[in-house]
Structure 1
């Protein structure tokens, strides 16, 4: 995997059911469960403030974590669901899925555009339109890429970059078969307006000539 898998700490939750979950929340925790991996589900508690910060940081549901629970072996997990209070929109329960290093999962990977300023189209005033700031990929849990790199070197105004133009990280593949657009270089608004006027002008002139011809024939 590109980069180190971050640790995530939790404690064992004693008891299950609504009563134990309410008690966890009163103590400033968010109840959760770790499931999958041919092992029994493990009820856990996570400090509310820790989880809330992770959620605000973003990409929590697409980050592989090294779950550390006292008395249990470390395990790779990924968050599969965060239940929230319908009124306050705060987390009330979290589900984690155990993963093997060889497991394949679908994750949204961010796209990074490089050499944007040196692209000929940008130097001429073109604007890079980021159609997809992230792309869903099928990746191996033990080798999740940090990003997809799109090189804009040599790109001109009007160029369209498809997913097939991008070299995907090793072991990764797209989750859809169609060749979707990642970005394009659009003409500046002034140039687009000028082109529109040029396209309209010949049509106006032709109409005028037709009227003059009709008048002459009469």
Structure 2
């Protein structure tokens, strides 16, 4: 289970574009917390907090505790809207979490042991097919990431869903049923030397000329 990341926020009294613009002029990012059959909460955040979380990566599956107006809400960040020119965050959507109500999250796959990988040392390449996987999981058991150990893999070996660590409490029926490929150790691509290719073409041309002469 992943740890909670605490976010300090302030409450907003009004919704709407005008109120959101006023929040931005005050140097904050407007945000909402919705879901769990409760009234939507209006909050405002320090933009540095959102930028920090974006740079950390994995924010789509990270659990947050949002503290605002004397209350603490468990939530996931569902969307971060960015300014089309500056790429600064301008709005954030949180989904409120309730225990025993599964949510859909995107979990990153972390690959361990690439430097020690037998196949890579022999010239192979780690070919990642899926960097992230969408799963359904109870909020209390959202994994920070899935892990794939590739250290012992040879060229031609495959990492499948069942090889991942950290999948015990999640549900991904389609992926589980097909045991989808997550990564492979691909053979190195060998390009034919131009000189050798030219020599082969010259030999073939000469042979063709002899045939015609006969």
TM-score scaled by structure 1?
Answer: 0.78
Q: How many Å apart are 1:46 and its aligned residue?
A: 0.8
Whole-Å Cα distance in 1 between the matches of residues 61 and 30 of structure 2? Answer: 20
CA deviation after TM superposition for structure 1 residue 45, in Å: 0.9
What is aligned with 2:126? Answer: 128
2:175 matches 1:179? no
Indicate the residue corresponding to 1:202 in structure 2. none
* RMSD of aligned alpha carbons: 3.4
Deviations 1:97-138 (A, max 9, x none): 110132222222222223334443233222222222222222
Query: Residue 62 of structure 2 contacts residue 144 of structure 2 at CA under 8 Å; is this kept in 1?
Result: no
Which stretches of structure 1, 4 residues or longer, exceed 4 Å deviation after superposition? Answer: none
- Give the gaps of 5 or more residues in structure 2: 193-202
Aligned residues of 1:136 and 1:175 also touching (Cα < 8 A): no
User: Are the counterparts in 1 of residues 61 and 143 from structure 2 also a CA contact under 8 Å?
Assistant: no
Residues 30-45 of structure 1 correspond to what in structure 2 (within 5 A)? 30-45=29-44
How far residue 41 of structure 1 moved from its aligned partner, in angstroms, is 1.3
1:198 equivalent in structure 2: none
Whole-Å separation in 1 of the counterparts to 2:86 and 2:152: 49
Quick check: 1:113 aligned with 2:117? Answer: no
Instruction: Judge conservation of contact 2:60–2:106 (CA < 8 Å) in 1.
Output: no
CA pair 123-51 structure 1, distance change in 2 beyond 3 A: closer
Query: Partner residue of 1:103?
Result: 101
The answer for the alignment partner of 1:18 in structure 2 is 17
Structure 2 CA distance, aligned partners of 1:187 and 1:55?
35
Q: Give the 3 Å change call, closer, same or farther, for CA 77–90 of structure 1 in structure 2.
A: same
Q: Secondary structure at the match of 1:176?
A: helix
* Counterpart pick for 2:92 among 66, 91, 94: 94
